[in-house]
Amino acid sequence: MFTIIQTNLRRRLARTLFTASGIAVGVATIVALLSFTQGLKDTAAGFVHLGGSDLGVFQANVSDPTASILPESLVARLDATPEVSRATPLLLVTEALKADPSAIVFGAQPSGFFSQGLVLLRGARPQGQEVLIGDRLAASLHLRPGGVLRVDGHPFGIAGIYHSGVLFEDSGAVLSIEDARTLTSRPGEVTDIVVELAAGTRASSAARKIERSFPGTQVITDPDQALRAGANSTLISKAILVIVVIALIVGAISVANTMAMSILERQGELGLLSTVGWSPVRVASLILGEGVAVSTLGAAGGLLLGVIGGGLLVHALGVSAYVSPAITAWGLGRGLLVGVAIGVLGGIYPAWRVTRMTPLRALSNA
């Protein structure tokens, strides 16, 4: 059976490749979107735990956590909370680097645990109006200590290069919170407050108490909460569902059309198989097997295209500081399942049609 399927697909190579290519595009889109969603979740995990914190306190009811505005006076009040070990404010400056608009500039207190936790790779700690830059940003912009980084058009000397292991941080820069306030004209305001909890304190219980004690705040403790705070992840999740359904419908129609044309062209061959003892079910299995084989071939190509294309698209759009595609075995598995499902759905009707065809009629129409 498998040998016959391979032979039949090779006999109509052009049609096989065109059908497989269409399926590959659909599967590649699904794989890419799934990898982006996982990448967003991984990035959100870093955003929640900036500076190695246990949780982040943001303004409630904002569509994007980076748009949060909180009073700096809240830091001292959080520090006085029994569940909190240390709290430090951050002021996030977005789209401030002309050379890399996706990079985030963090305004932080030099004495806070966020700044002190940065691992210095080269150079020294800032003195005066200087800035530290992440190793990923330094590599992409070819920067080094002693150089100049223009933040929102203002020149800052590069004191050193750091690494933290968090995508947001390593793809951005850090300057003093006072310099950040001067750039943004936001005196006395911060974007969020990152918190280290006291020993033995659970993040979920601390989050509930903070939100009750400080109305108007939103405490984010896990990546899913960070994703729900914005609309992008929801849109991507819905887009995946829509594209999966479209891929199944279009792919199944394409496979069904290919198999139906194959039946019309091979009526004599199929009739001959029936006359030599092949049962209708076995003939139908042959047609269904060809449909699944074409779809599997397309799915394999789609997996490869989705893995390569997702990474290239992120770099082409210049958004690598925000999200990096994360390929998982489950993501690839779902793409492959969609491809196989296309073959099964697309092969059902042609296979059923074969079972309704009598050997005499097939031979007479050949």
Q: For the chain, state the CA radius of gyration.
A: 29
Q: What is the pLDDT of residue 231?
A: 44
Closest CA to 220 of 46, 22, 11, 25: 46
Q: What is the pLDDT of residue 271?
A: 67
DSSP assigned state of 198: P
Question: Which H/E stretch holds residue 139?
Answer: helix 135-141
Q: In this structure, what token pair is assigned to residue 105? A: 């500039």
Tell me the helices (H) and strands (E) count for the chain, helix number first. 14, 12
Contact present, 226 and 48 (Cβ < 8 Å): yes
Contact present, 285 and 1 (Cβ < 8 Å): yes
Instruction: Tell me how far apart the alpha carbons of residues 359 and 275 are, in angstroms, rounded to a whole number.
Output: 6
**Per-residue model confidence as pLDDT tens for the chain (366 residues):** 777 777 767 877 877 788 888 888 888 888 887 787 777 666 656 667 788 889 989 998 876 777 889 999 999 999 999 999 999 999 999 889 988 887 889 999 999 999 999 999 999 999 888 999 999 999 989 999 999 999 999 999 999 999 998 878 898 999 999 999 999 998 899 999 999 999 999 998 999 999 999 999 988 887 666 555 444 455 555 556 666 777 777 777 777 777 777 666 666 666 667 777 778 788 888 888 888 888 888 889 988 888 888 777 767 766 555 566 778 888 888 888 888 888 888 878 777 777 766 655 545 554
Q: In this structure, what token pair is assigned to residue 96? A: 């401030």
Closest CA to 232 of 81, 43, 27, 12: 43
Percentages of the chain per state (helix, strand, coil), in multiples of 5: 60, 15, 25
Q: In this structure, what token pair is assigned to residue 155? A: 């020149």
Q: What is the pLDDT of residue 149?
A: 95
Instruction: Tell me how far apart the alpha carbons of residues 322 and 171 are, in angstroms, rounded to a whole number.
Output: 9
Question: Which H/E stretch holds residue 82?
Answer: none
Contacts of 160 (CB under 8 A, 6+ apart): 120, 121, 122, 123, 124, 125, 126, 132, 133, 145
Contact present, 65 and 47 (Cβ < 8 Å): yes
Q: In this structure, what token pair is assigned to residue 277? A: 């003892």
Instruction: Tell me how far apart the alpha carbons of residues 194 and 67 are, in angstroms, rounded to a whole number.
Output: 15
Q: What is the pLDDT of residue 320?
A: 58
> In DSSP terms, which residues pair with 108 in a beta bridge?
90, 176
